[in-house]
């Protein structure tokens, strides 16, 4: 994936009746020559990617949505009108209202729901990003090693990822979370990351496998480059596109699964706020619709935005996929 | 073809052994059944030692695994450490219920998803296409438990406001009704809907993408160049080829469906294997949990096998793999 | 001169893309006569494939558009026909062979089935046995060994050369009056190329079909074609019978093409490619499409401003589109003398 070379349109003086060797004078890349269709503007790969992404309307909408939502999570302390545990027994189970700033109502012991949702967003985004980054990193390293060296290392990795695919995923996670999670946000995140990396690993391995046979790798080896250097400088950059895409989508999956775990009572446990726990609270009070709707809706919005952005990234960074938008 | 199938079956066995072994080791270390037994106030020290010996808890993990495997075949998965009831009958009963819900959901989702996918691809960028693309995106973003809860709340509301039961919101059926009665269908309608919507999003999207991929291939161009009508081209060349990746997706989705079953059964209080699992997990009833993991692992492997066979049938290139 | 089987007049095809409108084919006119083989030569992007595919309605119409022109096949304008009517011609009277045999056959259906389909689409009443017999006969004609056994095999069990033969068999199944072969050998090894060319010669001899052979390989043109059309930038730049074109090319692009080929019997030190890149079909330079790379132009204003029209040259039937074509009179390419065997090599 090197830069395309600047094409040259030159004039060739010639004697009549014979064809001559061209002597070429490269013209300047002026607008006139571009106009004449003689050259195309040279753009870098990242330029093209950026333009493709910006043109993707859904991705832009998703990006804006994410900025708002994640921003709310990050600045929860400033945005939330109450602390998420502040109890107000005068105001239990009140529906959404503008009075007292209880935009999302209150729960059964009078805690402000809007604040709880905001803090829940913060937890979700922490979990999502942590799991995505860690699992992507693990997947990248393992996939690179397996794909590059091949042989039994590769075999081992492939058998292992196959194995993970055949297990009941949620059940295993639930078991692990029940036994080791202890309701802690970071423990649960770690458990998720440990089981999430297989997807990235497969993709990375595929790329390394196909690229290590390419001529420029052989050339680099002949020039004396060591394995590490080849892996890093030559092959790794080609994985960044798909890795970024899969990492982004992993954020969405992580948030969804963590919410499910917490909803069932095995994931993050109170007092740490979690959108899944909030929805679970709604289960016991079906008449108070806001207890169920708001946190769930928030999850949906976050995941939608992440998916849109992921789709846009995939369009921008992996155009060979020819996957028509949505 | 037969060799292909046999090879796939033989390959699955070590996978099954390995996954159950790893699960067992993990649970034994992380869960520590000995400690659990100690916590039970009903046991005197002597009984405790007897129990530990009887359940082989004083032996190393690998040996224990072997006993467990033995129990799988001889004692039908042995006995729960908590309730001392046999595990197997419970698993069979609950497994049957879950299977009913899952199979109905999967079949519905496949039929609808494939149909919508085909139509979306043929009428790309139409209103129909955009509508269902939006629905798919929503389906992906929606947590299963939330959808289940919303449906439950909705129908509870309807009942409370207008006193008419369209669908039941909890339980498998009213007493005395059979497994395939209208009453049962009314009870499982909502969980089926939940699972179906989420699977539908997956299948319709992948079918659409697959159709679009196939429609742009060279061999479809050849078919057109032969003078075949567009309808024939789609039915004979596009449809069947586009269906091939769906077989793999459907198999992979089965594992996700089992997870979804855990959630829906919890929300709707269904006597299914997922609910059983959750309850046993809450009590840290480890052998029961192992029983669940074994059964579900086998189910997933069987489903993958079916999908592989189907794939081999649809795509002759694979048979010589 | 008998009437042409195919007569294309002023055909123009465009494609709408994000970056602008691509003028793939810009006002071309040519005829094809029964029994002859017409070669269309040009670089990638010169419009050679698009011109023939658009006649059969095989270009995707939303981004593509036939801007103008007519294509008379045995008197009927194919461009005015509806989809259903066009389907009757495709595969029956007008058949096409495509470039890449690896992907041109459906991998999940047997080769025999797909060839049968070619026949049954147009003759649905024929019995299955008759159709199968004909298919096996066709496979044998194109040189597929063990045709009866191969009938039940899948495409992945065929080699590349065999697949292309099967494709050729498919195209002649209904004895078309016009056969269009779009770069039939480009995707194949050189040795296989030779075999497939042999097959094409056999097929030409066996049927009386007119053939349009699209290629960028002048060697193939020399072997198989009676007349040649040279295309550049979506336009026809030279047209004539094959001997004349090779011996006395009258357009700088054609000359450039010939010159870039090494001649077996001469000592040459350097290969001489045509410098520069093919033009962007979106922002076309006004005037002659070739002038930025032309050795003859030398920056003359007329080349930059005016699109040259096809003008007759000395030999009848030979036309070239160059403002200064007269300056090339007397030029003889290195292929004007026949190659004598056993020369210094």
Q: Under an 8 Å CB criterion, which residues of A touch B?
A: 162-163, 165-172, 174-176, 178-180, 252, 256, 259-260, 263-266, 276, 279, 282-283, 286, 289, 292-293, 296, 299-301, 303-304, 307-308, 322-324, 326
Structure tokens at B245: 């990746």
In this prediction, residues A281-306 reach a mean pLDDT of 86
User: Residue A21 pLDDT more than 50?
Assistant: no
Residues of A in contact with B26 (CB under 8 A): 175-176, 179
- The predicted structure's pLDDT at residue B7: 82
Residues of C in contact with B315 (CB under 8 A): 107-108
Instruction: Check C277 against A19: CB less than 8 A apart.
Output: no
Distance CA B27, CA B21 (A): 10
Q: Which of C259, C285, C330 sits opposite A19 (nearest CB)?
A: C259
Pairing relation of β-strands C178-182 and C20-32?
unpaired
Distance CA C120, CA C118 (A): 6
Task: Work out the minimum CA distance from C99 to partner chain A, whole angstroms.
Answer: 21
Instruction: Check A286 against B156: CB less than 8 A apart.
Output: yes
Instruction: Check B143 against A286: CB less than 8 A apart.
Output: no
In this prediction, residues C256-265 reach a mean pLDDT of 79
pLDDT band at A97 (very low <50, low <70, confident <90, very high): confident
Distance CA C323, CA A154 (A): 64
User: Residue A250 pLDDT more than 70?
Assistant: yes
Q: Does C237 touch chain B (CB under 8 A)?
A: no
Residues of A in contact with B300 (CB under 8 A): 166-168
Distances (CA, A) of C193 to B218, C48, C215, C220: 20, 20, 12, 9
A215 Cβ neighbours under 8 A, 6+ residues apart: none
- C180 or B23, greater pLDDT: C180
Beta partners for residue C311, in sequence order: C320
Q: Does B123 touch chain C (CB under 8 A)?
A: no
Q: Which of A14, A20, A40 sits opposite C280 (nearest CB)?
A: A40
Instruction: Check C90 against B221: CB less than 8 A apart.
Output: no
Residues of B in contact with A170 (CB under 8 A): 256, 258-260, 262-263
Q: Look at residues A191, C113, A36 and name the one whose alpha carbon lies nearest to residue C105.
A: C113
User: Residue A310 pLDDT more than 60?
Assistant: yes
What is the chain C residue with the closest CA to A52? C18
Q: Which of C275, C327, C330 sits opposite A12 (nearest CB)?
A: C275
- The predicted structure's pLDDT at residue A22: 35
Q: Secondary structure of chain A in the HEC alphabet?
A: CCCCCCCCCCCCCCCCCCCCCCCCCCCCCCHHHHHCCCCCCCCCHHHHHHHHHHHCHHHHHHHHHHHHHHHHHHCHHHHCCCCCCCCCHHHCCCCCCCHHHCCCCECCCCCEHHHHHHHHHHHHHHHHHHHHHHHHHHHHHHHHHHHHHCHHHHHHHHHHHHHHHHCCHHHHHHHHHHHHHCCCHHHHHHHHHHHHCHHHHHHHHHHHHHHCCCHHHHHHHHCCCCHHHHHHHHHHHHHHHHHHHHHHHHHHHHHHHHHHHHHHCCCCCCCCCCHHHHHHHHHCCCCCHHHHHHHHHHHHHHHHHHHHHHHHHHHHHCHHHCCCCC
pLDDT band at C194 (very low <50, low <70, confident <90, very high): confident
Assess contact for A24 and C275: CB atoms under 8 A. yes
- The predicted structure's pLDDT at residue A109: 77
In this prediction, residues C122-131 reach a mean pLDDT of 91
Distance CA A178, CA A171 (A): 10
Assess contact for C221 and C242: CB atoms under 8 A. yes
Q: Does B86 touch chain A (CB under 8 A)?
A: no
Mutation test of the interface with chain B: which of A159, A168, A326, choosing the one with the most B Cβ atoms within 10 A?
A: A168
- B72 or C196, greater pLDDT: C196
User: Residue A259 pLDDT more than 90?
Assistant: yes
- The predicted structure's pLDDT at residue B197: 93
Q: Which of B226, B232, B240 sits opposite C108 (nearest CB)?
A: B240
What is the chain B residue with the closest CA to C90? B227
User: Residue A12 pLDDT more than 60?
Assistant: no
Would the pTM of this model clear 0.90, i.e. be above it?
no
Distance CA B232, CA B224 (A): 9
**If DSSP codes are grouped into helix, strand and coil, which group holds residue C40?**
strand
Q: Look at residues A59, A8, A1, A57 and name the one whose alpha carbon lies nearest to residue A29.
A: A8
- C133 or B26, greater pLDDT: C133
Q: Which of B222, B240, B315 sits opposite C104 (nearest CB)?
A: B222
- The predicted structure's pLDDT at residue C233: 86
**If DSSP codes are grouped into helix, strand and coil, which group holds residue B104?**
helix
Give backbone dihedrals phi and psi of B103, rounded to 5 degrees, phi first.
-65, -45
Distance CA C184, CA C100 (A): 7
Q: Which of C92, C105, C167 sits opposite B227 (nearest CB)?
A: C92
- The predicted structure's pLDDT at residue A17: 33
Task: Work out the minimum CA distance from A75 to partner chain B, whole angstroms.
Answer: 24
What is the chain A residue with the closest CA to B33? A179
Instruction: Check B228 against C107: CB less than 8 A apart.
Output: no
| Chain A neighbors (3+ CB pairs < 8 Å) | B, C
CB pairs under 8 A between A and C: 52
User: Residue C295 pLDDT more than 70?
Assistant: yes
Distance CA C195, CA C184 (A): 12
Instruction: Check B223 against C106: CB less than 8 A apart.
Output: yes
Q: Does C334 touch chain A (CB under 8 A)?
A: no
Instruction: Check C100 against B224: CB less than 8 A apart.
Output: no
Residues of A in contact with B216 (CB under 8 A): 322
Residues within 8 A of A (CB atoms), C 226-255 only = 255
- The predicted structure's pLDDT at residue A205: 87
Mutation test of the interface with chain A: which of C234, C251, C275, choosing the one with the most A Cβ atoms within 10 A?
A: C275
Q: What rounded mean pLDDT belongs to chain C? A: 85
In whole angstroms, what separates CA B123 from the centre of its chain? 32
Q: Does B210 touch chain A (CB under 8 A)?
A: no
Structure tokens at A18: 């014979």
- The predicted structure's pLDDT at residue B302: 86
Pairing relation of β-strands C6-17 and C227-232?
unpaired
- The predicted structure's pLDDT at residue C47: 81
Assess contact for C38 and C212: CB atoms under 8 A. yes
Distance CA B99, CA B34 (A): 34
pLDDT band at C202 (very low <50, low <70, confident <90, very high): confident
Element (H, E) at C236: strand C235-241
pLDDT band at A215 (very low <50, low <70, confident <90, very high): low
Give backbone dihedrals phi and psi of B150, rounded to 5 degrees, phi first.
-60, -45
pLDDT band at C342 (very low <50, low <70, confident <90, very high): very low
- The predicted structure's pLDDT at residue C101: 87
- The predicted structure's pLDDT at residue C345: 40
Beta partners for residue C213, in sequence order: C39, C181
Distance CA A285, CA A287 (A): 5
User: Residue A20 pLDDT more than 60?
Assistant: no
pLDDT in tens, chain B (321 residues): 778 778 878 888 888 888 888 888 887 777 666 666 666 677 677 777 777 777 677 677 777 788 777 777 776 666 666 666 777 888 888 888 999 999 999 999 999 999 999 999 888 888 888 889 889 889 988 999 999 999 888 888 888 888 777 777 777 777 767 777 788 888 888 999 999 999 999 999 999 999 988 988 899 999 999 989 888 898 889 988 998 888 888 888 888 899 999 999 999 988 889 999 998 888 777 778 888 888 888 888 888 888 888 888 888 877 665
In this prediction, residues A189-205 reach a mean pLDDT of 88
């Amino acid at each position: 994936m090197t830069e395309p070379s600047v094409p040259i349109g030159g004039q060739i003086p010639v004697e009549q009746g014979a064809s001559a060797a061209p002597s070429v004078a490269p013209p300047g890349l002026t607008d006139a020559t571009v106009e004449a269709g003689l050259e195309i503007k040279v753009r870098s790969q990242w330029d093209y990617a950026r333009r493709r992404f910006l043109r993707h309307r859904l991705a832009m909408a998703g990006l804006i949505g994410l900025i708002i939502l994640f921003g709310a999570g990050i600045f929860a302390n400033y945005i939330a009108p109450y602390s998420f545990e502040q109890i107000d027994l005068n105001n239990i189970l009140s529906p959404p209202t503008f009075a007292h700033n209880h935009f999302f109502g209150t729960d059964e012991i009078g805690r402000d729901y809007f604040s709880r949702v905001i803090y829940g967003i913060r937890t979700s985004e922490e979990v999502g990003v942590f799991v995505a980054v860690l699992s992507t990193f693990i997947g990248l390293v393992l996939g690179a090693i397996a794909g590059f060296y091949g042989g039994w290392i590769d075999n081992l990795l492939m058998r292992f990822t196959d194995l993970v695919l055949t297990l009941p995923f949620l059940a295993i996670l639930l078991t692990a979370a029940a036994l080791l999670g202890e309701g802690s946000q970071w423990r649960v995140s770690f458990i998720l990351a440990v089981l999430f990396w297989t997807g990235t690993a497969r993709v990375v391995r595929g790329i390394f496998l196909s690229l290590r046979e390419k001529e420029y790798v052989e050339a680099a080896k002949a020039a004396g480059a060591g394995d590490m250097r080849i892996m890093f400088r030559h092959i790794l950059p080609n994985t960044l596109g798909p890795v970024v895409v899969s990492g982004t989508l992993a954020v969405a999956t992580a948030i969804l699964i963590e919410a499910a775990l917490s909803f069932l009572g095995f994931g993050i446990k109170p007092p740490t706020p979690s959108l899944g726990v909030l929805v679970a609270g709604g289960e016991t009070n079906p008449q108070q619709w806001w207890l169920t709707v708001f946190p769930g809706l928030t999850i949906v919005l976050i995941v939608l935005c992440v998916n849109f952005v992921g789709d846009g990234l995939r369009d921008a960074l992996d155009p060979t996929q020819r996957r028509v938008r949505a | 073809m037969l060799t292909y199938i046999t090879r796939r079956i033989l390959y699955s066995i070590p996978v099954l052994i390995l996954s159950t072994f790893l699960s067992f080791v993990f649970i034994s270390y992380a869960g520590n059944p000995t400690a659990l037994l100690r916590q039970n106030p009903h046991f005197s020290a002597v009984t405790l030692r007897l129990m530990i010996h009887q359940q082989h808890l004083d032996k190393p993990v690998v040996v224990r695994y072997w006993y467990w495997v033995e129990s799988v075949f001889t004692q039908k998965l042995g006995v729960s450490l908590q309730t001392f009831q046999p595990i197997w009958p419970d698993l069979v009963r609950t497994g049957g219920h879950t299977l009913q819900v899952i199979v109905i959901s999967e079949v519905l989702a496949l039929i609808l998803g494939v149909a919508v996918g085909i139509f979306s691809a043929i009428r790309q960028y139409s209103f129909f296409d955009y509508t269902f693309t939006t629905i798919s995106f929503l389906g992906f973003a929606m947590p299963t438990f939330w959808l289940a809860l919303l449906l439950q709340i909705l129908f509870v509301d309807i009942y409370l406001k207008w006193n008419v039961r369209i669908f039941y919101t909890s339980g498998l059926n009213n007493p005395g009704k059979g497994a395939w009665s209208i009453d049962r269908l009314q009870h499982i309608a909502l969980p089926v809907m939940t699972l179906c919507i989420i699977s539908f999003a997956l299948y319709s999207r992948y079918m659409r993408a697959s159709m679009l991929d196939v429609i742009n291939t060279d061999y479809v161009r050849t078919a057109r160049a032969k003078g075949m009508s567009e309808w024939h081209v789609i039915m004979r060349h596009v449809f069947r080829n586009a269906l091939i990746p769906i077989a793999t997706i459907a198999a992979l989705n089965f594992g996700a469906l089992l997870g979804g079953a855990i959630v829906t059964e919890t929300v709707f209080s269904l006597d299914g294997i997922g609910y059983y699992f959750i309850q046993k997990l809450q009590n840290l009833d480890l052998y029961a949990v192992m029983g669940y993991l074994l059964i579900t692992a086998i189910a997933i492997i069987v489903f993958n096998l079916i999908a592989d066979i189907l794939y081999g049938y649809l795509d002759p290139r694979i048979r010589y793999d | 001169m008998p009437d042409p089987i195919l007569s294309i007049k002023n055909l123009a095809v465009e494609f709408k893309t994000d970056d602008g409108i691509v003028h793939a084919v810009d006002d071309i006119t040519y005829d094809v006569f029964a029994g002859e083989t017409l070669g269309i030569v040009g670089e990638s992007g010169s419009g050679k494939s698009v011109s023939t595919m658009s006649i059969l309605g095989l270009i995707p119409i939303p981004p593509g558009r036939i801007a103008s022109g007519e294509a008379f096949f045995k008197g009927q304008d194919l461009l005015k026909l509806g989809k259903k009517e066009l389907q009757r011609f495709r595969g029956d009277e007008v058949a096409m062979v495509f470039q890449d045999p690896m992907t041109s056959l459906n991998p999940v259906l047997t080769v025999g089935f797909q060839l049968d389909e070619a026949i049954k689409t147009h003759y649905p009443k024929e019995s299955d046995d008759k159709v199968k017999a004909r298919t096996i006969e066709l496979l044998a004609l194109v040189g597929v060994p063990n045709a009866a056994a191969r009938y039940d095999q899948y495409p992945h069990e065929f080699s590349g050369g065999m697949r292309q033969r099967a494709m050729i068999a498919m195209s002649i199944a209904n004895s078309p009056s016009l056969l269009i072969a779009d770069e039939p050998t480009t995707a194949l090894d050189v040795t296989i190329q030779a075999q497939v060319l042999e097959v094409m010669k056999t097929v030409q001899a066996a049927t009386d079909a007119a053939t349009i052979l699209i290629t960028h390989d002048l060697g193939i043109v020399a072997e198989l074609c009676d007349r040649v059309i040279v295309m550049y930038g979506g336009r026809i730049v030279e047209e004539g019978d094959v001997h004349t074109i090779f011996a006395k090319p009258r357009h700088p692009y054609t000359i450039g093409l010939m010159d870039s080929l090494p001649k077996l019997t001469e000592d040459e030190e350097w290969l001489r490619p045509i410098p520069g890149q093919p033009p962007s079909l979106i922002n076309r330079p006004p005037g002659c499409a070739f002038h930025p790379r032309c050795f003859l132009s030398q920056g003359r204003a007329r080349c930059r401003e005016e699109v040259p029209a096809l003008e007759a040259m000395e030999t009848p039937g030979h036309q070239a589109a160059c403002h200064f074509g007269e300056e090339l009179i007397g030029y003889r390419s290195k292929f004007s003398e026949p190659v004598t065997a056993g020369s210094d090599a």
